[in-house]
Amino acid sequence: MTEPIAAPEFDESRLSLRESCGSSEPNDSNDAPLVEADDVSVQFAGQSILKEVTLRIPRGQTLAIIGESGCGKTVLMKTLIGLVKPTSGRVLFDGNDLSSLNYAALTETRRRLGFVFQNAALFDSMTIFQNVAFPLRQHEQLSPEEIEAEVMQRLAEVGLPDEVARKRPAELSGGMRKRVGLARALILKPELVLYDEPTTGLDPIMSDVINELILSTRRKYPVTSVIVTHDMRTARKVADRVLMLFPRTRLRSDQSQILFDGPPSQLEHAEDRRVRQFVRGEAGERLMELRASQNE
Ligand SMILES: Nc1ncnc2c1ncn2[C@@H]1O[C@H](COP(=O)(O)OP(=O)(O)O)[C@@H](O)[C@H]1O
Ligand SMILES: [Mg+2]
């Protein structure tokens, strides 16, 4: 059974968002990409994980990074915001080389980023309220009433009832924890939001709740998003660009690690067979490789 490709109403909402941003915010006429990775390589203990990856993410774009487990998606995403330092190459955020920023500038830059970690990464000893309020208390001077209003509104937006605020992360289901992570990442209205496997481990309905949250965030304000996922439904529904990454270890040194870079509608027609197989969930030649390695 094939999944429906992104419904046309999403495209319309994106168009109207772009138009309204362009007319109301003179800064949005800034054509420079928000994030720029130039020839970025990352090695761990001498093993090449990313090799000479070049990527520009325009403002307002929703980019999905897909690819099999272990191919370097999370490493790439962390590199884009300076959590992993490239072995060579450079990353610019809004034109600034992350590695050259001093502490104050780095703190200010971090405020402009929201990161939704794969395991939600909530503070276990804090209540849900304290978790979501944390970035506000760190970065804003607000009264307790203002914090409360803001936090409760965010929890409502991600579909969590008021009583959840008093609970601790251990008392919530995985899907609820993910939504708390989302509320916390979005509370400062970051310019760039990074989601690491936001729907992994969730049932299809809860996954779609998360997809809708990603879409509605974008309708509310001109956010740029990077979503690491192997959920093709998420990639098709929310992304306007998909990048498929391939494990460095299974490529020749002259081959690009980016197998596909284009709109989700083109995935099925990708030239590279490995892309078509991945999006259809077919083992293809990977199965032969695995069988061959078992027989070795
Ligand atoms: N901090 C680290 N130290 C050493 N190896 C790492 C580190 N982070 C990731 N790796 C390795 O890099 C590869 C890519 O990891 P990752 O980006 O997490 O993959 P995925 O595409 O599943 O997100 C894996 O082989 C992983 O073991
Ligand atoms: Mg990962």
Rounded mean pLDDT of 34-43? 96
User: Ligand 1, atom 20: nearest CA belongs to which residue?
Assistant: 70
CA of 75 to the centre of ligand 1 (A): 6
DSSP structure string for the chain: -PPPP--HHHHHHHHHHHHHHHHH-GGGG--S-SEEEEEEEEEETTEEEEEEEEEEE-TT-EEEEE-STTSSHHHHHHHHTTSS--SEEEEEETTEEGGG--HHHHHHHHHTEEEE-TT----TTS-HHHHHHHHHHHH----HHHHHHHHHHHHHHTT--GGGGGS-GGGS-HHHHHHHHHHHHHTT--SEEEEESTTTT--HHHHHHHHHHHHHHHHHS--EEEEE-S-HHHHHHH-SEEEEE--GGGS-TTS-SEEEEE-GGGGGG-SSHHHHHHHHT--HHHHHHHHHHHH-
What pairs with residue 56 in β-bridges? 36
Hey, which of 43, 51, 74, 227 would you mutate to test ligand 1's pocket, going by the most ligand atoms within 8 Å of its Cβ?
74
Q: Whose CA is nearest to atom 17 of ligand 1?
A: 72
At residue 202 the predicted structure's pLDDT band, cuts being 50, 70 and 90, is confident
Amino acid sitting at position 261: D
- Prediction pTM value: 0.85
Domains of the chain: 8-24+32-112+190-295 (3.40.50.300)
For ligand 1, atom 1, the nearest C-alpha belongs to 44
Burial class (CB in 10 A: 0-12, 13-18, 19+), 117: middle
The Å distance, Cα 27 to ligand 2 centre, comes to: 33
Residue 250 CB–ligand 1 contact under 6 Å: no
State whether the beta carbon of 77 lies less than 6 angstroms from ligand 1.
Answer: no
- State the distance from the centre of ligand 2 to the C-alpha of 166, rounded, in angstroms: 30
Closest among 103, 196, 187 to 151, alpha carbons compared: 187
The sign of the torsion formed by the CA atoms of 73, 76, 81, 83 equals: positive
Residue 287 has pLDDT above 80, yes or no: no
pLDDT value of residue 12: 33
The alpha carbon of 260 and the centre of ligand 1 are apart by a number of angstroms equal to 20
Q: For residues 200 and 4, what is the distance between their CA atoms, to the nearest angstrom?
A: 20
CA dist 23 and 139 (Å) reads 29
**How is residue 108 written in tokens?**
């200010």
**Whole-number pLDDT of residue 289:** 74
Query: Going by CA atoms, what residue is nearest to atom 26 of ligand 1?
Result: 70
Q: Report which of 70, 100, 75 is spatially closest to residue 86, judged by C-alpha positions.
A: 75
Give the residue whose CA is nearest to atom 14 of ligand 1: 72
Strand partners, 36: 56, 92
Q: Per residue in 213-263, pLDDT tens?
A: 899 999 988 899 999 998 899 999 999 999 999 999 999 888 999 999 999
The finding on whether 79 has its CB within 6 A of some atom of ligand 1 is: no
And the tokens for 276?
């078509």
- Distance CA(150)–CA(141), nearest Å, equals 13
The ligand minimizing its distance to the Cα of 196 is 2
Could you read off the pLDDT of 93-118 as tens digits, one per residue? 999 998 888 888 888 888 899 988 88
Lowest mean pLDDT among 40-49, 51-60, 183-192, 274-283: 274-283
What would the pLDDT profile of 45-92 be if each residue is shown by its tens digit?
A: 999 999 999 999 999 999 999 999 999 999 999 999 988 999 999 999
